[in-house]
Chain A
Amino acid sequence: MIAAIAIALTVNGEPVTAEVKPRLNLADFLRDDLGLTGTHVGCEHGVCGACTVRLDGAIVRACLTLAVQADGSAVETIEGLSDSGEIADLQNAFRDRNALQCGYCTPGMLITAQDLLRQKPQPDRAEIREHLAGNYCRCTGYHAIIDAVESTARARTERAT
């Protein structure tokens, strides 16, 4: 078996060093090695979006990213984005609009929605739907999620002006 490789990265701002097998994906590394179980594994082949995390500021599928690829990078997960308060308003909007049911897709959905709002502060509903199209939700039918993202965008824009 191929030997483990040493990696050093930051996860939610904290420095992490580890010895990982080359085949270990980032989702399993976060969940099993670091105990960050908020990153969910839905399909393990890069389709459903439940494992979405931020890698050096861009969203990636943690199941399609190897842990060794994160060497030297900054990884942010739902735990980090929650603790920092960066997405508190988005989370409040999800809660008020009941934009989650089982909650399994929700961490990935929130991170992807925040990615959209950082790129485009005032998206219309079609643009929100398009950006979230890589994150599957089987419970809500999406309507409430679109509402929550739309209302967050509006509130942020109002606060900024």
Chain B
Amino acid sequence: MTASDERQVLSVLDRPNSYIGKSVPRPNLDRLMQGRGQYVSDIVLPRMAHVVFVRSPHAHARIAALDGTAAKAMPGVIAVVTGRELAGVVSPWVGVLSHLKGLKSAPQHAIAVDRACWQGEAVAAVVASSRALAEDAAEMVAVTYEELPVVTDMRTALDPETSVIHPELGDNLAFERNLDAGAVDQAFAEADEVVEAEFVFGRHTGVTLEARAVVADWNAGEARLTIYQGTQAPHMVQNIAARHLGLTEAQVRVVCKDVGGSFGIKVHIYADEMATYGLAKMLRRPVKFVADRVESFNTDIHARDHVCKGRIAVNRDGAIKAFAIDDLTAIGPYSMYPRTSAIEANQVVNLVGGPYATPNYRARARVVFQNKNVTCQYRAVGHPIACSVTEGLVDLAAQRIGMDPVAIRRRNLIRDDAYPCASPSGLRFEALSHHAALDRILAMMDYEGLRAEQTRLRQQGIHRGIGLASFIEVTNPGAAFYGVGGARISSQDGVTVRLDASGAVIAHTSITEQGQGSESLTAQIVGSVLGVSMDRVRVVLGDTDATPYGGGTWASRGAGIGGEAALQSAKVLRDNILVVAAAILQARPGDLDIVDNAVVDATSGERRIELNELARVVYFRPDTLPPGLQPELVATRHFVPRDYPFAFTNGIQAAWIEVDTATGFIKLLRHWVVEDCGTLINPQLVDEQIRGGVVQGLGAALFEHCIYDERGQLTNANMADYLVPMAGEMPDIDVGHVVSPTLESELGAKGAGEAGTAGAAAAVANAVNDALASFGVTITEIPLTPRLVLSALGQI
């Protein structure tokens, strides 16, 4: 019997009427579709004031003078607050983690004190009775700036002649990591061929459709701060707000209702949000901040912005002998707090070459400060870079030795029977399925048929290309991500599940919902394990006063970690219910089960007592129960993976595209993904996570780019000039699965949130180079704009 067979027999999920593996609709969608959601921007509190920030128009400038007198005299204005004034309420922070050895950053204030370090950094706050009046007054704040030298080119950031943004740090190097595994020099020296390329990744951002927003309510009577915020990590916000406002965590409550898009943008602590908390305390009333779209582009974290030199050693038989990279990435003037801005480069080092059985690997990554907006973890942190570099090099190697891209992957992907195993960078893989995924995607896309069509159309002057991209994906992170580095960001999650007097169930979970389906997966698991129909399970999340303590929803951890906590808590409650039922029915708990909202005889299935009747007895007629029996119709369990620091998943993507060589436009014709996230709790939700992730990756591949000029000015900080994917230009996306459950949990679920974004750009770039192969052209830069294509073709 294999492990997976054994799991099926023993699983508590393998029960009558189980919701696991079923594409049931998410609860509460009607509310959102009827316009009855409650996003932070919808919240109105008594005495609520609105804050607007005056922001630096310069990338680097000393604040020589700041005069708020005229602004204070404007209608409706309550306060004009400078950085120095607010520093008395909110202490500064430094975005470092101890496990990222050598990472350095400078103290950052909620509002700049003396000096602004990027265009968009707040230099003053104006609080008024409405947002419009605050905006009017903000224009009247007189700021005199003295411009300072800017650092805006990552390639020269470390040169001796370049000015240093924070002189006390000595240089502009925030972090460097070097890795050398195996016999790299020997492998490159002995290989038949060595191919190298420089890969360039534009800066882009998440563009959540709801901008960042917060309502902070300091109740001086209770000495308590309630923060309404669309955050992925409420307990993290609670901790940080308390720490920097001089409060205890018990004095801070974080409430997270509906969140209008997140993708990693809303998992950080932003200076303007900290300022809003501080202003509420200072002014002793609720203060609301809603970013406008220009502010979002200038202050929501950016990501990527890497230049990565890659080399691959390959033999003519197709054997890949080594990978080597030298990655350079530009963050903002500060490492972001508290997760830091070094994680993406660290991930690139970890992940390059990850799908392949190649023991020789060398990497250097350097992270440099810039006078640009801060960068930090955005969906699929580091994955798109690692995947594009790895898969770009593999295709270039295949091209050099005249091998089909499929054949070289078959030759080198880690065998499906090789697990458990580890990568040269030390990643431990429990069970991956690269070859099964490759076989599946080739069948889905009819690879041979597409190749024939490509050849046929080429004769008509139509240039189509096929691109493949295998990837690995970090999910279910334990304490290795942040906890070991000293950040108070929990890696465990908890669920409390309770049977109420009517027989309905309430589940409180510490994971959060931003549309992925956290509520649904919790209700599906609890309903399945308890034997209760989903419509009787109500899920409560996003409130530090109400839910167990936990990490939240990020890094594809909700289903795998929060889901397992739900499973374990429901198991305990089920046992507790059966103890009571056995007492009432004068039976043995082991002879009973719960099916379809009733306790039944486990053998015959005969309904013995409805759950609502059992609950009635427990709550209203406990006098009728046997002496000494105290029913506990509530149970809490927590979970964190301990055997593996991360649960790796794997997958492969394929793109089918057409390049118009006259205009440089790239048309996406079809896209395929096969991935392996272990147990599928709700296949439809997994598919939609992947499709959404793919389109964010396609945006990065073709359109999305925060374009800075040499003075550090963001030149396209609006939705008309910063292009995101629209319905008209996106392809249909086919999704398939291989299922290798993790044995670390009874649920067996891994994450799926990063997979789509991880490999989409790599697949498209490889497809474009495939389409242009006959021109002898290779492009290793994204976004793949028409200008870039035409330049590569020598047409402009």
- Answer yes or no: A70 CB below 8 A from chain B CBs: no
**Given contacts A50-B209, A101-B515, A133-B727, A1 and B75 within 8 Å (CB-CB):** yes
With CB as the reference atom, state the residue of chain B lying closest to A47: B719
Cα separation A155 to B35 with both chains bound (whole Å): 24
A144/B695 in contact, CB under 8 A: no
Question: B687-719 vs A: 1/0 string, CB under 8 Å?
Answer: 010011111100000000000000000000011
**Cross-interface CB contact of A144 among B36, B260, B514, B691, cutoff 8 Å:** B691
Q: Which residues from A are CB-within-8-Å of B206?
A: 138
Q: Which residues from A are CB-within-8-Å of B428?
A: none
- Answer yes or no: B34 CB below 8 A from chain A CBs: yes
- Answer yes or no: A132 CB below 8 A from chain B CBs: yes
Question: A102-125 vs B: 1/0 string, CB under 8 Å?
Answer: 111111001000000000000001
Q: Which residues from B are CB-within-8-Å of A100?
A: 29, 32-33, 515
**Given contacts A42-B209, A95-B33, A139 and B515 within 8 Å (CB-CB):** yes
Closest-CB distance, A72 to chain B (whole angstroms): 24
Cα separation A125 to B42 with both chains bound (whole Å): 34
With CB as the reference atom, state the residue of chain A lying closest to B38: A37
B29/A104 in contact, CB under 8 A: no
* Residues 35-86 of A contacting B (Cβ, < 8 Å): 36-45, 47-48, 50, 77-79, 82-83
- Answer yes or no: A22 CB below 8 A from chain B CBs: no
Cα separation A82 to B262 with both chains bound (whole Å): 26
B33/A102 in contact, CB under 8 A: no
Closest-CB distance, B33 to chain A (whole angstroms): 5
Closest-CB distance, B71 to chain A (whole angstroms): 15
Closest-CB distance, B702 to chain A (whole angstroms): 14
Query: How many CB-defined contacts (below 8 Å) exist between A and B?
Result: 173
**Cross-interface CB contact of A141 among B23, B293, B692, cutoff 8 Å:** B692
* Residues 27-67 of B contacting A (Cβ, < 8 Å): 29-30, 32-39, 41-42
Cα separation A43 to B29 with both chains bound (whole Å): 23
* Residues 222-260 of B contacting A (Cβ, < 8 Å): 258-260
**Cross-interface CB contact of B516 among A83, A101, A145, cutoff 8 Å:** A101
**Cross-interface CB contact of A82 among B34, B38, B720, cutoff 8 Å:** B34
Total chain A interface residues with beta-carbon distance under 8 A: 55
**Given contacts A39-B35, A102-B210, A142 and B727 within 8 Å (CB-CB):** yes
B719/A37 in contact, CB under 8 A: no
B260/A103 in contact, CB under 8 A: yes
A143/B733 in contact, CB under 8 A: yes
With most chain A CB atoms within 10 A of its CB, the pick from B23, B211, B691 is B691
- Answer yes or no: A98 CB below 8 A from chain B CBs: yes
Closest-CB distance, A47 to chain B (whole angstroms): 4
Cα separation A161 to B211 with both chains bound (whole Å): 44
**Cross-interface CB contact of B34 among A40, A79, A134, A135, cutoff 8 Å:** A79
With most chain B CB atoms within 10 A of its CB, the pick from A83, A132, A133 is A133
- Answer yes or no: B26 CB below 8 A from chain A CBs: yes
- Answer yes or no: B147 CB below 8 A from chain A CBs: no
- Answer yes or no: B25 CB below 8 A from chain A CBs: yes
Cα separation A24 to B519 with both chains bound (whole Å): 37
B39/A40 in contact, CB under 8 A: yes
- Answer yes or no: A96 CB below 8 A from chain B CBs: yes
Q: Which residues from B are CB-within-8-Å of A136?
A: 207, 209, 719, 724, 726
Q: Which residues from A are CB-within-8-Å of B262?
A: 102
Cα separation A135 to B724 with both chains bound (whole Å): 11
Closest-CB distance, A117 to chain B (whole angstroms): 15
A133/B728 in contact, CB under 8 A: yes
**Cross-interface CB contact of B727 among A40, A43, A145, cutoff 8 Å:** A145
Cα separation A23 to B725 with both chains bound (whole Å): 31
B727/A102 in contact, CB under 8 A: no
With most chain A CB atoms within 10 A of its CB, the pick from B42, B209, B258, B688 is B209
What are 7 contact pairs spanning A and B, CB under 8 A? A78-B33, A98-B25, A98-B517, A100-B29, A141-B693, A141-B756, A143-B730
| New A-B contacts (5) at CB < 8 Å, excluding given A43-B293, A45-B718 | A82-B35, A103-B258, A136-B209, A142-B730, A145-B727
Q: Which residues of B contact A (CB under 8 A)?
A: 23, 25-26, 29-30, 32-39, 41-42, 75, 132, 206-211, 258-263, 292-293, 514-517, 684-685, 688, 691-696, 718-720, 724-730, 732-733, 756
